[in-house]
Amino acid sequence: MSTGRDAACERDAAFERDVLSCLPGIARFARSLTRDGPAADDLVQETFLMAYRGYHTFRTGDNAMRWMLTICRNAFLRDRERGSRFSALDDVDPNTESHDAASAHMAAEQRGESDLLDRLDIGPAVDRALRGLAEDFRVTVVLVDMEGLSYREAAVVEGVPVGTIRSRLFRARRLLQDQLYEFARDAGLRSASPPSADPVSAESLTRSAK
Amino acid sequence: MMAPEPGTPHADGAAAAPAVIDCTTAVQRMWDFLDRELDDARMSEVEAHLAACRGCPSHFAFAQSLLENIAAARAGFEQPQALRLRVVAALHAEGFVGQPS
């Protein structure tokens, strides 16, 4: 016969298996939100305490990581009293961002920087660039590119439309791309030929790619 | 016999050939494609374009490389065991009976 203590043990074993295993991902997410080690640790602890207290609301079979990411996000927003703060940057056209990314790559090719990712250890540069992103962008990159959430899942966690996730993600990636090119230039790998003064348009990309 | 229009279902139920898209459209879909957020038909259209285009594959390859490097940056965000111990200790104070591991 199951006792109350047995039930608690079973519940806690399930919590440990399903929820506590999310700690590395939640820690990354918390750091992306706070950009501050001690504050991130506090947020992680608060997130797990809230999850434990509300574990009865978690349904077996649900995505525990997504549930935890949402709790973490809400805890952060509540702590910072940032209930609603959609920025004008959410108006970014994701299609334009894709073209700009390809255009920037083409310009980098012309400068001889196209293979920088193969020639340099850019890990530290990526890490630094990520930390330099505005919060909305950084959080979206962590959710999608590090934690592997789909656009729809990230939208649930962030409480925004899927289109906003695409806008933030594509802009963030282009900003990271720009940061990496800067890193390459700082590393002295810029070719002798000066870059084109004119930005590369989507039209020229289309023309030259064919 | 006339070939069906791209994207037109075949009478025998065979998969239709992907519609032809230009570079502008392919690049517009680049991130969605790499994230596998497109539906099957649009994925096939981009794949077909990349197979035939001389310019676009290098942009996609660079973008894919960027994504791999971002994913690899996860290592820089790893947390020490101390945080897990701290969290478990806080949970224990709430009545949690699980064991830290």
Return the higher-pLDDT residue of A159 and B8: A159
pLDDT of residue B22 exceeding 80: yes
Q: Which residues of A fall within a CB distance of 8 Å from B72?
A: 123, 126
Please name the CATH architecture into which domain A88-209 falls: Orthogonal Bundle (1.10)
Q: Which of residues 13-52 of A touch B (CB under 8 A)?
A: 13, 15-16, 20, 23-24, 27-28, 31-32, 41, 44-45, 48-49, 52
On chain A, the residues whose CB falls within 8 A of the CB of B75 are 123
Compute the nearest-CA separation of A103 from chain B (Å): 9
* Closest alpha carbon within chain A to B35: A150
Domain-wise residue ranges, chain A = 4-80, 88-209
Position B78 scores a pLDDT of: 63
Q: Is the pLDDT of residue B50 over 50?
A: yes
User: Which among A6, A16, A116 is the top mutation candidate for probing chain B, defined by the most B β-carbons within 10 Å of its own β-carbon?
Assistant: A16
Q: Is B35 within 8 Å of A126 when comparing Cβ atoms?
A: no
Residue A114 confidence (pLDDT): 61
**pLDDT band at residue B5 using 50, 70 and 90 as cut-offs:** very low
Query: Per-residue confidence at B24, pLDDT binned at 50, 70, 90?
Result: very high
**Residue A76 contacts residue A34 (beta carbons within 8 Å):** yes
Question: Whole-prediction pTM value?
Answer: 0.70
Do the Cβ atoms of B97 and A12 come within 8 Å? yes
Looking at residue A132, its pLDDT comes to 84
Q: Do A4-80 and A88-209 agree at the fold level?
A: no
Q: How far apart are CA A186 and CA A183, in angstroms?
A: 5
Fold classification of A4-80 (topology level):
Rna Polymerase Sigma Factor; Chain: A (1.10.1740)
| Residue A188: predicted pLDDT | 58
**Shortest alpha-carbon distance between residue A205 and chain B (Å):** 8
pLDDT of residue A195: 42
Q: What is the pLDDT of residue A144?
A: 95
> In this predicted structure, what is the pLDDT of residue A123?
77
Q: Which residues of A touch B97 (CB under 8 A)?
A: 8-9, 12
Going from N- to C-terminal start, the domains of chain B cover 23-93
* CB distance B87 to A135 below 8 Å: no
Contacts of B35 in chain A (CB under 8 A): 144, 150-151
Contact: B79, A24; criterion CB under 8 Å:
yes
CB atoms within 10 A of CB B82: 9
pLDDT in tens, chain A (210 residues): 556 677 778 888 899 999 999 999 999 899 888 877 788 889 999 999 999 999 988 888 889 999 999 999 989 888 775 443 333 344 567 777 777 777 777 777 776 666 665 666 777 788 888 888 888 899 999 999 988 999 999 999 999 999 999 999 999 999 888 888 877 777 654 443 444 433 334 444 433 433
